[in-house]
Amino acid sequence: MPLLEFTSKGIYCAQAKVYLDPWRGVNKALITHGHSDHARWGSQHYMTHELNVPILKHRLGPLSVTGKRYGDPFKINGVQFSFHPSGHVPGAAQIRVEYKGEVWVFTGDYKVQSDGISTPFEPVKCHTFISECTFGLPVFQWEEPPSIHEKINLWWAENRTQKTTSLLMGYSLGKIQRLLKHLDPSIGTIYTHGATEEMTAVLREFIDLPPTQRITADTSKKEIEGNLVLAPPAVLGSAWVKKLGELSTGYASGWMALRGARRRRAVDRAFVLSDHADWKGLLSSIKATECENVITTHGYTDLFAQYLRDQGWNAKTEKTQYEGETLENTAE
């Protein structure tokens, strides 16, 4: 029997009787990070990296959860587990599983580029690597993040000279705080949508971020004119957005690398910024693990697994309910 199996409830370690990022309620769940496709409600007990404890409680309400540090091993029924940085969003971890000398690593979501707010990705040696591949096609090659942040600040500064408000959208956990971290507060005031403000408040406990001001019913159009508003992409076209006045809209996502996706989102400015590894990042990470087997879980799974087989890996795809970064950002 393999050390980890793909079942109808999630990735299961039968020896330890625990699930990794299950999509149904289970007895014991080990969680890689706080996005809703990986951390789901309904399990009896959760174990995760300590930074995810307040995030999970904010997202899922009161629950029984134990926090662990990166690299600290713990045993469940003879199986050794540990969390290692995946660089995806703050608190995000890969899960290393070892039993009788055999090592598996489950990535959850990961990225190789440093974002200034998450603990950087750390390759972990293993025999079997369970990898996401949201952007597992050669067309996805990320620019260095500092140049993107510079473009965002320039866009904001230009809008300000025309008394236009900048609406910058990204998903609420990770992307928004990464954007916020690199905004230049000397340009103007940074306003937030309520959902954005609440998640940011949770992360402020352990990340130093520029100040923000929540938009309320009392906030006037005049007040926010020329300033910047951070919000989730779901607000586009809503009554909430209409109240903001003259806007330039910007959207930060890996999907913005594709012209078709840019057209579908219909925003004024597209910023290609992802919390997932690009093509080269995926390949370099897989090489660094020195694994023999790769299991692809979400993204361009079949194409990516085929490419890996052509390169000599023993690679296959397993079906999961993880979504990675979706264009509509349901997996926040």
Binding site for Zn ion (CB under 5 A): 35, 109
Tell me whether residue 109 or residue 115 sits nearer to Zn ion (CB atom): 109
What is the identity of the amino acid at 222? K
Tokens 């997202």 — which residue?
Answer: 59
Our CB check for Zn ion shows the closer of 89 and 124 to be 89
We find the least distance from the C-beta atom of residue 35 to Zn ion, in angstroms, to be: 3
* Cα distance between residue 110 and residue 112, in whole Å: 7
Using alpha carbons, list the distances in angstroms from residue 231 to 116, 139, 171, 249, 279.
Answer: 20, 28, 8, 11, 28
Nearer to Zn ion, 306 or 326 (CB): 326
> Which residues make beta-bridge pairs with 231?
169
Smallest distance from Zn ion to CB 54, Å: 17
Token code pair at residue 210: 């520029």
Q: How far is the CB of 215 from Zn ion (least distance, A)?
A: 26
Least distance from Zn ion to the Cβ atom of residue 110, Å: 9
Least distance to Zn ion from the beta carbon of 173, Å?
8
Distance in angstroms (rounded) separating the CA atoms of residues 236 and 311:
42
* Beta carbon nearer to Zn ion, 35 or 193: 35
- Which of 185, 186, 247 minimizes the C-alpha distance to 211? 185
- Give CA 128 to chain center in angstroms: 22
Of the two residues 73 and 116, which places its CB atom closer to Zn ion in the complex?
A: 116
Reading phi first (left if > 0) and then psi (alpha if -120 to 50, else beta), residue 222 is in: alpha
